[in-house]
Amino acid sequence: MNGGKSAEERMQARAPEMELIREAQAGSRAAFDTLVRQYEQQVLRLALHLTGSEHDAEDIYQEAFLKAYRYLGNFRFECSFYTWIYRIVTNLCLDQMRRRKTRREDHAVVVNHSGEEMDLLASVSDDRSFSNPAKELDRKVLGERIQLALEKLTPRERMVFELKHYQGLRLRTIGEMLSTTEETAKNTLFRATKKLRAQLAGVR
Amino acid sequence: MNCEVAHERIVAAAYGELADEQSHELERHMDGCPDCRKEREQLLALKVLADAYPVQEPEANLVARSRLRLEEALDALPPLRWFERLGQLVKNNFASLTAAPVAACLLLAVGVGAGSVGGAWVARIRSVQAAAQAARVQAQPNAVSAAAVGAPAEIANISSIIRQPNSHTVEVDYNQMVPRRIEGSLDDPAIRQLLMMASQNSASAGVRDDSVSLMAAECKAGHSCRGAGIRDALMVALRYDRNKGVREKALEGLKPYVAEDVRVRDAVLEALMNDADPQIRTAAINILEPVEADTSVRQVLHSVSNTDVNPYIRTVSRQVLNSVPEIQ
């Protein structure tokens, strides 16, 4: 996991990108399409990992870039475009997670990658596969167990952990994206790791 | 440090977000605290465990599908008409636009007031001044000493700079309303100010070159080029001067400070990456040698060694990279 973009990459990348943004702001669809292509992989990767569902990731992609298109005129180069677009995506993901959390309270059913519903509690209640060290851990089941633990976090904790642990962003950038301070992001990360450890206490 | 703080710092450290000094404190605390060592172990275990749900690259199908859907939606949007664009523009600049009329009115009022008062005053004293001027002009028309140079606002531009051979004295030709010449030591603040102005404002590349090379020589000789703006002027010249010779001299002058001043280092790194001239990029590599173990320097060297259009520069930067073992 790399620690975000290096200073030198940023310097190189910024000049042509600013040009693209200006063109897109002036109404060029081609320039906007180029911007979409630059960021779509990262947007999908994040949304897919956060929601665990291709369907949701696709929706977030759609909404995020439509929003970016609509409000591109408001982008005034005060932060990097990367931070700006991530701010849109993380907000959409947070909304989506909040909606899903209320839906999930009753039954722990998630939609897996291939779109079929599965009951996670049923699959993790069988603890033997985790507690028996002689048995090789089924990585897929373990992955689902992690996913379940992640979903026990509040949407914000989940987001900070995602951006730090999985996407490797700096806490300062994360704070900027979530419109909060680096210190708050750090505290949220601490809480998230604490909860995750409690959730995953039996798993080794 | 108590254990509660230590636990928070353990998380920050595990994610590379702890300042060096605090990491050191944390290490010392953990040396004597088995609980905190255990805490760290558990956190590292969590990090390993969490990777069992890895981030996956989205499949090409998903990307294509999403892109298609977006394009359809964008095509379906009605294009913005001119008045909508205008509306957006107005909205974006709302703050500045609301302030503009007020500022314009104020300016107008100030201008009219100052004009009428000033006009009357000037007319009154002009007659007196003309007489005094006539007397002064006969004496010595042009040459003044360094101390007599007025504020920089009076100086229109700088036309030449000459250092007298084997001396510490420099002649700077500059224009006020009438061209003048000033003579003085290189350490003289007035002379320095003119040199700095010349490095940035002069239309003639020769003058910029002269001023930058004199300032660079001062810096190399270690003559109080600390903080006094000369270093900044050299960095500006390195970054923005159109003339290659000027940039080259500026780079030379910055050489002694590359190790101690991060801003200088950044300027040199930028030159290495962005300068259009291969000679300057090569010179930048050589200058960076004392700090080649620095991470940002290594990053830039690494990128230059892969992407520079000039094969010689790629080779040299690679050699520099190889000559120092990576620290980490």
pLDDT tens digits, one per residue of B90-126: 666 664 555 566 667 777 888 887 887 777 777 777 7
pLDDT band at A1 (very low <50, low <70, confident <90, very high): very low
Go through B220-234 and write b for each residue having 16 or more CB atoms within 10 A of its CB, e for each that does not.
Answer: eeeeebeeeebbebb
Domain boundary among B234, B257, B280: B257
| Chain A residues touching B63 at Cβ < 8 A | 40-41, 44
Cα distances (Å, whole numbers) of residue B308 to A29, B266, B292 = 32, 18, 18
Q: Is residue B198 part of a domain?
A: yes
pLDDT band at B227 (very low <50, low <70, confident <90, very high): low
Q: Is residue B147 part of a domain?
A: yes
Q: Is A127 helix (H, G, I), strand (E, B) or coil?
A: coil
Shared domain for B207 and B284, answered yes or no, is no
DSSP-derived letter for residue A136 is P
pLDDT band at B138 (very low <50, low <70, confident <90, very high): very low
Shared domain for B210 and B299, answered yes or no, is no
Are A172 and A183 spatial neighbours (Cβ–Cβ below 8 Å)?
no
d(CA B21, CA A57): 41
Q: Is residue B74 part of a domain?
A: no
Domain boundary among B218, B241, B257: B257
Are B267 and B293 spatial neighbours (Cβ–Cβ below 8 Å)?
no
Structural domain count of chain B: 3
Shared domain for B210 and B262, answered yes or no, is no
Shared domain for B146 and B253, answered yes or no, is yes
Domain boundary among B50, B65, B87: B50
Q: Is residue B195 part of a domain?
A: yes
Are A31 and A23 spatial neighbours (Cβ–Cβ below 8 Å)?
yes
Are B198 and B172 spatial neighbours (Cβ–Cβ below 8 Å)?
yes
In chain A the domains, ranked by start, together with CATH numbers, are 1-106 (1.10.1740.10)
Shared domain for B182 and B196, answered yes or no, is yes
Q: Is B182 helix (H, G, I), strand (E, B) or coil?
A: strand
Shared domain for B280 and B192, answered yes or no, is no
Shared domain for B43 and B148, answered yes or no, is no
d(CA B299, CA B301): 5
Q: Is residue B106 part of a domain?
A: no
Residues 6+ apart with CB under 8 A from A164: A171, A174, A185, A189, B15
Instruction: Dump pLDDT digits (tens) for B52-73.
Output: 898 989 999 999 999 999 999 9
Shared domain for B222 and B279, answered yes or no, is no
d(CA A109, CA A33): 37
Cα distances (Å, whole numbers) of residue B295 to A8, A66, B13, B291 = 11, 39, 19, 9
Q: Is residue B241 part of a domain?
A: yes
Mutate one of A8, A49, A124 to test the B interface: name it (highest B CB count within 10 A): A8
Residues 6+ apart with CB under 8 A from B316: B282, B285
A/B interface, count of CB pairs below 8 Å: 119
Q: Is residue B22 part of a domain?
A: yes
Shared domain for B231 and B292, answered yes or no, is no
> Which residue bears the tokens 């369907």?
A55
Shared domain for B154 and B190, answered yes or no, is yes
Q: Is ipTM > 0.95 here?
A: no
- Least confident among A51-60, B97-106, B135-144, B157-166: B135-144
Shared domain for B266 and B326, answered yes or no, is yes
- Least confident among A125-139, B143-157, B162-176: A125-139
Mutate one of B3, B26, B46, B72 to test the A interface: name it (highest A CB count within 10 A): B46
B67 and A6 within 8 Å at the Cβ level: the answer is: no
Domain region containing B36: 3-50
Q: Is residue B130 part of a domain?
A: no
| Chain B residues touching A40 at Cβ < 8 A | 63, 66-67
